[in-house]
């Protein structure tokens, strides 16, 4: 992991604040947060903060939230085997030099459409399970294979290959964003949209807008994230004749918009969007995967928990968490994020033991994902600093996450 990832968020806030010639009071005023929050973060007495606070501080300091929270900047190399995940290989797949030189490196026989779709499904499954290192190994080759096929084939096969390529670029974009490489992620999204123009799937543009909204949210471009999601949602607003997948895509966009809105402290908007998404989820019935994103009553339920945590309503978040139906129907990374939100709520209520247990549940669901998830790491650090004994379970978790100190 990078040095920035291992240093504390408070250190980075203090360093940037001094570089900008700001006092703690002036920074707090610019960010519209309590000066006590700034002091505690900089002094290391507080390791975690609401994402709305982090976004506000990042904007006031003219940086990206990923820098403040210390996202990992590359793949870990602890995996065994001959192939190791490579950030450089992923960058090269997304932005190959042949595009600049006008050359053509497609010397091999392209894979079949069936092979491409099987590879995409395998990669999507790995992604949902949070096996980040495996994504770093498999995704560059999938992108190269899909590009090759899209160039070599014609007609329906070319359109099918372009569909696989479009989704592969979206997986690359979300992976690069998780590693704090938002600009490279935006390039991947541009290439996804170009591939979509060559395919015949009417829903891929909506899936791309959902991914782009999430990327902008991670960048701190919250108004842009909200606008993109709402604009696409308006375009595809379902009718009583719409198929369940179409209703699901609309609901996913509403939740994306609400995620951006809650980090802007637009709580009324969040409530309105969540109510619409919850109604859509009830209409859909059981949770389903639509372009690798789940939607249904369970996903709407965990979104509600997340929003309540962000709105500083921890007690209500705990109550809402107990009412989430069929949690096991969701992918591992969604379940893990749900448990992290529970952990944040318990920590806010000063119940460290329940917070630690929730984090252990998140680790059980998606252990590798936890190593890359900055919110989880910050919360573990905070709980570790308050651990009452040397054999506290959170200390073992900190060791497994590779946290020093």
Give me the phi and psi of 290, to 5 degrees please: -125, 110
Identify the burial level of 234 via C-beta atoms within 10 angstroms of its C-beta, where 0-12 means exposed, 13-18 middle and 19 or more buried: exposed
Say how far apart CA 189 and CA 205 lie, in whole Å. Answer: 11
Q: Which of 123-137, 233-247, 283-297, 387-401 has the lowest mean pLDDT?
A: 387-401
Distance CA 45, CA 167 (A): 42
**What pLDDT, in 10s, does the model give residues 343-385?**
999 999 999 999 999 999 999 999 999 999 989 998 998 999 8
What does 170-198 look like in DSSP terms, one character per residue?
Answer: HHHHHHHHHTT-HHHHHHHHHHHHHHHTT
Distance between CA atoms of residues 128 and 331, nearest Å: 6
pTM of the model as a whole: 0.89
- Average pLDDT of the segment spanning 221-248: 96
Mean pLDDT across 127-151: 94
CATH top class, domain 1-70: mainly alpha
- Three-class SS state of 328: helix
Predicted pLDDT of residue 178: 87
In the chain, domain spans: 1-70, 73-201, 220-330, 331-405
Please give the average per-residue pLDDT across 13-22, as a whole number.
92
CA 79 to each of CA 75, 119, 389, 404: distance values in angstroms, whole numbers, following the listed order: 10, 21, 32, 20
pLDDT value for 2: 38
CATH class given for the domain over 73-201: mainly alpha
């Amino acid at each position: 992991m990078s040095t920035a990832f291992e240093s504390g968020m408070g250190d980075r806030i203090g360093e940037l604040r001094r570089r900008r010639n700001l006092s703690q009071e002036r920074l707090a005023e610019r960010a519209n947060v309590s000066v006590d929050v700034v002091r505690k973060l900089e002094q290391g007495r507080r390791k975690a903060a609401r994402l709305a606070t982090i976004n506000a501080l990042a904007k006031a300091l003219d940086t990206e939230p990923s820098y403040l929270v210390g996202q990992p900047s590359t793949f870990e190399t602890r995996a065994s085997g001959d192939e190791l995940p490579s950030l450089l290989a992923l960058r090269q797949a997304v932005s190959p030099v042949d595009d600049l030189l006008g050359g053509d490196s497609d010397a091999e026989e392209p894979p079949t459409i069936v092979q491409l779709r099987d590879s995409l499904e395998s990669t999507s499954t790995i992604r949902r399970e949070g096996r980040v290192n495996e994504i770093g190994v498999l995704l560059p080759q999938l992108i190269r294979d899909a590009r090759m096929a899209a160039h070599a084939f014609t007609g329906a096969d070319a359109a099918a290959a372009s569909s696989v390529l479009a989704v592969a670029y979206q997986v690359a974009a979300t992976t690069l964003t998780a590693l704090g490489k938002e600009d490279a992620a935006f390039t991947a999204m541009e290439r996804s949209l170009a591939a979509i123009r060559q395919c015949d799937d009417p829903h891929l543009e909506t899936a791309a807008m959902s991914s782009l909204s999430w990327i902008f949210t991670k960048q701190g471009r919250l108004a842009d994230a909200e606008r993109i999601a709402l604009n696409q949602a308006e375009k595809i607003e379902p009718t009583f004749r719409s198929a369940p997948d179409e209703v699901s895509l609309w609901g996913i966009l509403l939740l994306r918009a609400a995620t951006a809105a809650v980090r802007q402290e637009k709580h009324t908007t969040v409530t309105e969007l969540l109510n619409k998404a919850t109604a859509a989820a009830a209409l859909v019935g059981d949770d389903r995967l639509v372009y690798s994103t789940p939607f249904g009553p369970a996903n709407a339920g965990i979104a509600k928990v997340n929003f309540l945590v962000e709105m500083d309503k921890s007690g209500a978040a705990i109550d809402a968490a107990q009412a989430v139906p069929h949690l096991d129907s969701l992918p591992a990374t969604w379940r893990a994020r749900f448990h992290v939100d529970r952990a944040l709520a318990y920590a806010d209520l000063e119940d460290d033991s329940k917070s630690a247990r929730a984090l252990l549940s998140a680790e059980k669901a998606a252990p590798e994902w936890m190593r890359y998830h900055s919110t989880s790491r910050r919360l573990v650090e905070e709980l570790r600093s308050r651990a009452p004994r040397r054999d506290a379970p959170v200390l073992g978790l900190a060791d497994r996450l590779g946290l020093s100190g």
